[in-house]
Amino acid sequence: MEFLEKIFEKLNIPKIEDFRRVMVVSPHPDDAEIGIGGTVAKLSSFGAEVIYVMATDGSLGTRDPNVPRESLALQRRKEQEEAAKVLGVEEIVWLDFEDGGDYDYKKVRSYLVNLIREYKPQLILTTDPTLRYEFHPDHIKVGRAASEAALLYQFPHFESPKPKEVEKSVMAIGYFFTSKPNTFVCIDKFRNKKIEAIKKHESQMGDGMDVLLWYLSEKEKFHGKKVGCEYAEAIRIMPIIALHAFAEGEFI
Ligand code: ZN
């Protein structure tokens, strides 16, 4: 048996489809739909409660200098709400950091620690902060903030002037936009919803959209072959114990 499966069995960590409380931590509106829209739709349809945490306001997402940031942020908020609805996500928490801004990732981490303690997710899905050729700072900072929060929330003294007992809920973290996937989620029945949700992001429907949809389809077909499906999304799932002093983390 593969090492990862052994760890999951030992720690009683369910298969990704079987998690019931899931928190998706996204740098921008649209990342979750593009990266794991099918998985989110699948989880929701299986009865999971999925909550989105949107780190930034998406206000950098235009090449038109005449579009003010404030109005773009409002539009993207509306688009994200509609996209989330398509995938069965009821709640979005907006942290409203400035898209591409010079914020400290530790501020994002603080919010996430509190949200994890409050919502008690079993699984956190976020962007892979170790992706070597990722140069959008929000993707690196937010993925890192979510990873550290997933580790540190469980210590009552962490950022807590009045420490009280913390319920340990998070079993695993799953990275999308990753070059080292170890889990492939069949999305054949949910791909239509994913595409519908992506298209709700009308402000992002510029020239590149056709290429993006083609790229996603090719990628999903490639990953689908690994699990006998037409389309699959690729995720790197890590048990939380692998996020600290765990040399095999890179290889599981
Ligand atoms: Zn993004």
Domains of the chain: 2-251 (3.40.50.10320)
Compute φ and ψ for 182, nearest 5 degrees.
Answer: -130, 5
Rounded to the nearest whole angstrom, what is the distance from the C-alpha of residue 15 to the centroid of ligand 1?
26
Quote the pLDDT of residue 2: 80
Rounded to the nearest whole angstrom, what is the distance from the C-alpha of residue 33 to the centroid of ligand 1?
10
Rounded to the nearest whole angstrom, what is the distance from the C-alpha of residue 140 to the centroid of ligand 1?
10
Rounded to the nearest whole angstrom, what is the distance from the C-alpha of residue 102 to the centroid of ligand 1?
16
Which parts of the chain sit beneath pLDDT 50? none
Token pair in block for residue 158: 């962490």
Measured CA to CA, the distance from residue 108 to residue 97 in angstroms comes to 8
Quote the pLDDT of residue 1: 56
Q: How far is CA 29 from CA 57, 61, 139, 197, in A?
A: 7, 9, 12, 11
> What residues have CB less than 8 Å from 150, skipping those under 6 apart?
116, 124, 170, 173, 240, 243
Quote the pLDDT of residue 227: 96
Quote the pLDDT of residue 247: 87
Rounded to the nearest whole angstrom, what is the distance from the C-alpha of residue 123 to the centroid of ligand 1?
20
Quote the pLDDT of residue 42: 98
Q: How far is CA 109 from CA 22, 152, 171, 199, in A?
A: 17, 9, 18, 30
Quote the pLDDT of residue 5: 83
